[in-house]
Amino acid sequence: MATNRTFTMVKPDAVEAGNAGAILKMIEEAGFRIVALKKTLLTQERAGQFYAVHAERPFYASLCAYMSSGPIYAAILEKENAVADFRTLIGATNPAQAAEGTIRKLFATSLEANAVHGSDSDENAAIEGGFFFSLTEQF
Ligand code: RTP
Ligand code: MG
């Protein structure tokens, strides 16, 4: 299978808890190459733009407040079958349902504060990576 890319964020709860380094280590040990990486802070407005697909969902306002509540790490990752393999590595959205050994099982604290984001398609991975990184930052 061809090498391709996904996009991730280490979310505010995991950064605040001091788990960003451990999470990035798990990601690298699972075979993902870090193409781009930055620590940044989303405003509520930019969090809203990032999660615009969820604008009609009941949890949208809370999600935007949470995602702008503290710094995050944003990263573009590369691996064969990156999108699907990364979602396997992070586990189910709700940590109570996440498989043993997954990042969310190990580090998430609630359905909302679930430690990491992972793109859900190749198309969204490219859009989300472009939300944080210029082409000259992706190598
Ligand atoms: P993500 O986009 O962050 O990788 O998460 P996901 O695909 O597993 O889940 P998604 O349905 O896209 O939801 C995005 C994020 O919104 C928060 N959420 N809160 N309170 C709730 O019912 C609820 N549901 C989802 C989570 O932070 C979730 O990751
Ligand atoms: Mg999602």
Domain boundaries, the chain: 3-40+72-137
* Confidence bin at 3 (pLDDT 50/70/90): confident
C-beta 124 within 6 A of ligand 1: no
pTM of this structure: 0.96
Ligand 1 atom with least separation from CA of 93? 8
C-beta 60 within 6 A of ligand 1: no
Are 64 and 48 in contact by the 8 Å Cβ rule? The answer is: yes
* Confidence bin at 2 (pLDDT 50/70/90): low
Are 67 and 50 in contact by the 8 Å Cβ rule? The answer is: yes
CATH topology for 3-40+72-137 is: Alpha-Beta Plaits (3.30.70)
Lowest mean pLDDT among 1-5, 11-15, 46-50: 1-5
* Confidence bin at 13 (pLDDT 50/70/90): very high
Ligand 1 centre from 51 Cα, in Å? Answer: 9
- The strand pairing partners of 33, in sequence order, are 78
pLDDT digits (tens, 9 = 90+) for 26-56: 999 999 999 999 999 999 999 999 999 999 9
Ligand 1 centre from 133 Cα, in Å? Answer: 22
Count CB neighbours of 96 within 10 A.
11
Residue 80 CA to residue 107 CA, distance in Å, equals: 25
Is residue 117 flagged as an active site residue? yes
